[in-house]
Amino acid sequence: MIKRPGGELASRPLHFIWIADSSGSMEQDGKIQSLNTAIREAVPHMKKVAEDNPNAQVLVRAVKFSNGAQWHISQPTPVADFGWTDLNAEGETDMGKALELVAEQLKMPPMSDRALPPVLVLVSDGQPTDDFDAGLKSLMEQPWGKKAVRIAISIGKDVDNEVLQKFIGNSELKPLAANSPEALVRHIKWASTAVLKSASSPAAGAEVPAGTDTANVPIPTAAPADAGGAAATTGTATTTAPTGTPAGSPGDPNDQNTVDDVW
């Protein structure tokens, strides 16, 4: 709460949802363990961002998808109380069903018309094995689905980046490519701090009718440390949009942060 003369101004709910691939391929080369580690390490940083943005009540949960999709952490949990439960990997890649699950929760109700734009972070290492387009359609039919800040992180080289780009829905923002555990940690941290900070800013909280697009939602002005940047204009603000391409190629002697591709 922010104390003001005459009373308190209630913070507005901001729903942050991980949409995590737990298909069988995520078991290979330790991908699922790296994802668990990356999210667990990001949680304290999320808590700090939330503390610094008292106008937002950050509520976190997670969907997992493999053979079908289900809520991995079902209750919108205040970030101060949030703890990550490790995922296990098996089965197919039913990404479309995961988006349908999220769409159900972005209806009004249970969503409130005074909420801040949700943040949806999709992480995958493969290609959908179900009807992705139907799932995306369900999501985009919801006003809060359209208005959400949508970020995608690809793990490895077998991802359908065209699908992830459709999910993002903004040609100036590209999927973030994680080809190593170190890159995955950086991207997860960026998605859960810089993106969260922008979505919880006062500008994001301006009274924008539900059903509009994300033009009035600030987008982070800096890409992750190992991602290239391209000047982009979103709404009225010029930003630096992440391209998903590492700044240095493996073996570049001038790049101190270079790591060999693992995935």
The predicted structure's pLDDT at residue 240: 35
Inside any domain, residue 249: no
Minimum mean pLDDT range among 9-13, 82-86, 108-112, 232-236 = 232-236
Asked if residue 92 belongs to a domain, the reply is: yes
Is 4 contained in some domain?
no
Could you give the number of structural domains in the chain?
A: 1
What CATH number did the domain enclosing 43 receive? 3.40.50.410
- Can you list the positions of beta strands (E) in 136-223? 149-155, 176-178
Could you report the per-residue pLDDT of 60-114, keeping only the tens digit for each? 999 999 999 999 999 999 999 999 999 999 999 999 999 999 999 999 999 999 9
Q: What is the mean predicted confidence (pLDDT) over 217-244?
A: 41
22 located within any domain: yes
pLDDT at position 260 is 65
Whether residue 255 is contained in a domain is answered as: no
> pLDDT tens for residues 179-206?
999 999 999 999 999 999 998 876 654 5
Angle between helices 132-140 and 161-168 (to 10 degrees): 10
Measured over the CA atoms of residue 124, residue 128, residue 131 and residue 136, the dihedral's sign is: positive
Domain that holds residue 116: 9-73+88-206+215-220
> Is residue 241 helix, strand or coil?
strand
DSSP string, 6-73: TEEE--EEEEEEEEEE-SGGGGGGGHHHHHHHHHHHHHHHHHHHHHH-TTEEEEEEEEEEESEEEEEE
Q: Is residue 261 part of a domain?
A: no
DSSP string across 90-147: -S---HHHHHHHHHHHTSTTTS-TTPPPPEEEEEESS--SS-HHHHHHHHHTSHHHHH
Domain membership of residue 106 (yes or no) is yes
Q: Is the pLDDT of residue 248 over 70?
A: no
Question: Is 232 among the domain residues?
Answer: no
Q: What is the pTM of this model?
A: 0.81
